[in-house]
Amino acid sequence: MKTIAILGTLDTKGEEHSFVAELIHQRGHRTLLIDTGTQGEPTVKPDVSRSELVGNQAFTDRGEAVAAMAEAAAAFCAKLVVERKIDGILSLGGGGGTAISTAAMRALPVGFPKLMVSTLAASESAPVYMGVKDVTMMPSIVDIAGLNRISRPILANAAGAISGMAEIAAPASNDNPMIVASMFGNTTDCVNHAKEILETAGYEVLVFHATGTGGRTMESLIESGLVTGVLDLTTTELADEHVGGILSAGPARLEAAARAGVPTVIAPGCLDMVNFGEPDSVPKQFAKRKFYHHNPQVTLMRTSANECCALGEIMAGKINRSTGPVKVMLPLAGISIISQPGGPFHDGPADEALFNSMKSNLRNDIPVEEFDCAINDTHFAEAAARALLDLMSLAS
């Protein structure tokens, strides 16, 4: 028998949370109904009252109340997980309820079952609520405002989903030391080949897609202290952050390993491109730039020589903060599949501006190795993997 925590603003959505709780009980599990409401009295009796979370604080501002409840719910649920009192967490909500409950979910470990049924699940703001944790967002389709022919099956699916998540135990993993790597479609061959070499050497390699969320998640994992080495060959998110694309990982990308002193191999993979959505989504100021339509939903824009010069300086500044062993590797014949000679993004002057800017701004003691091949060449992938193995050996 598992115990599922159900967070809810029970002053407005008690009926829906009780409905889900009953379905979970029918699966043979217990529930812990936690009231995270901030307005009127709860419409159903909770197992944990809001006063147990925030005391008897009186709030005059709803935004202040939501923020305080989110912080309190996060601390309370994290404690329940540490004490092994719950096996999964579920919530249903609109804007306020989603903000509160996902704050609690983001405070829980990766792998712990988390399900948020939300009116915002399909919105552009959904990644904000998920953060860098594995919060599963399920669209509520209709507003969570009573039970009806649409909401009942949606909520029944949610009850079944969280029950199933809690029932399934992941197979035990090996205890091999962990390496994290960054990858994009345009660097897949390189990273996959390097990954094989590192796994053969006895490491577990976790690959993160450089889509903004992937980079933030990788940085967070490095900060956790669980990572032995970093193969950061796809730093494209820096271009989106600098130029204004949609896949930025934020201003702190490429900084966690430097601060932590984790052995790191770095390449400027896919810095030839900035990511936008459909063609109509590209800002008008870029109308005369060079584009490549990766698919109907993804439009890539070639970075200019000036942007590449700035990106080289930005990268060097971040790498210069490294407190541990680090190496920079430059594939001179192409930093992505499409920037190789003959490719749609081939631009020798722009690449040269990037490489020269990096080299001129790096600390003198940071090694830089240049290769007369493209990033996806087997030789480059093997050299990157061997370089990381050497750095980790020096650090051990």
> Is the pTM of the predicted complex or chain greater than 0.75?
yes
Q: Which residue has the tokens 């909401």?
A: 151
Q: Are strands 368-371 and 326-331 parallel, antiparallel or unpaired?
A: parallel
Q: CA–CA separation, 41 vs 37, rounded Å?
A: 8
Q: Report the top-level CATH class of 178-395.
A: alpha beta
User: What pLDDT sits at residue 127?
Assistant: 87
- Cα dist from 259 to 191, 239, 368, whole Å: 24, 21, 20
Equal CATH topology for 3-167 and 178-395? yes
Q: CA–CA separation, 353 vs 327, rounded Å?
A: 20
**pLDDT-above-70 percentage for the chain:** 100
Convert the pLDDT of each residue in 119-167 to its tens digit. Answer: 999 888 888 899 889 999 999 999 988 899 999 999 999 999 999 999 9
DSSP state letter for 94: S
The residues spanned by each domain of the chain are: 3-167, 178-395
User: What pLDDT sits at residue 280?
Assistant: 93
- Cα dist from 243 to 227, 239, 275, 308, whole Å: 30, 6, 10, 10
User: What pLDDT sits at residue 171?
Assistant: 79
User: Do residues 259 and 267 make contact, with C-beta atoms less than 8 angstroms apart?
Assistant: no
Convert the pLDDT of each residue in 291-322 to its tens digit. Answer: 999 888 899 999 999 999 999 999 999 999 99
Pick the CATH number of 3-167 from 3.60.150.10, 3.30.390.50, 3.10.129.10, 3.40.50.12020: 3.40.50.12020
Between 10 and 170, the more confident residue is 10
Q: CA–CA separation, 346 vs 338, rounded Å?
A: 7
The string of DSSP letters for 266-304 reads E--TTTTEEEESSGGGS-GGGTTS-EEEEETTEEEEEPP
